[in-house]
A = this chain, B = another copy of it.
């Protein structure tokens, strides 16, 4: 089932069998991308959207000097560039972090869905607004938190999203393939400062990090440092405790 992780774990957002089937049939093909490959360049005309099946991807914008700012981070189940369906062109680039597998959904099939299955259309709309809610939280993160708070927040968010798709262990561990450079690009920090801040988080026994893995040792304290509350992820009740 290609779409098994789409909106998985979200509150009251179940798809009917008919809708699952329609979405499944809207998939034209599956593509594989290698790690660290830019898959979309800003401004290109978009004719299809991609549902991330496996692997990790991000969206980013480069500044004049080529310094990168991540504006989104995606895990399996995310309908990554569904924004391109109403927008036609995107304002940012997209790239893989790890090797990734994506389902390609042509826009004409999405148009058909908006005409024939309005409830499913509203769910697709919902999923794009979930991204918007995450964007707002990222603005808050880089605008109001200091380095340790920003990184704590990113880790809490990622853990909550991974848990929603059943990819976080009971021990607080989950796959996390971002380099310190990537973390810096997501949080508006240099990799040097990320390094020093991670050392503080480790020294305080809040996290273990390394080898593409993170383990959150003290979720409550980490959430407090990152001022993290998972409301904005619109998770199911079982998943909402921080």
Question: Which residues of A are in contact with B by a Cβ distance under 8 Å?
Answer: 42-43, 59, 61, 63-64, 67, 69, 71-72, 83, 86-87, 89, 91-92, 111, 114-115, 118, 121-123, 125-126, 128-133, 135-140, 142-145, 187-188, 227, 231-232, 234
Contact = CB atoms under 8 A, between A and B. Distances in A.
The 8 A-B residue pairs with the shortest CB-CB distance in the complex, in nearest-first order: A143-B188, A135-B135, A91-B232, A86-B126, A132-B132, A71-B136, A142-B143, A69-B144
A143 B231 contact: no
A89 to B, nearest CB: 8
Contact of A145 (B63, B114, B231, B232): B63
Contacts of A136: 59, 61, 71-72, 91-92, 135
Given A136-B91, A227-B64, A86 B129 contact: yes
A189 B139 CA distance: 13
Contacts of A234: 87
Nearest to A42: B231
Contacts of A64: 227
A188 B142 contact: yes
A153 to B, nearest CB: 11
Secondary structure at the A interface, as helix, strand, loop or mixed, is helix
Contacts of A42: 231
Contacts of A59: 136
B115 A63 contact: no
Contacts of A232: 91
A139 B71 CA distance: 6
A111 B174 CA distance: 39
A140 B129 CA distance: 19
Contacts of A67: 144
Contact of A121 (B43, B114, B129, B143): B114
B188 A91 contact: no
A125 B122 CA distance: 9
B69 A139 contact: yes
A239 to B, nearest CB: 16
A139 B63 CA distance: 12
Contact of A114 (B43, B91, B118, B135): B118
A69 B114 contact: no
A87 to B, nearest CB: 5
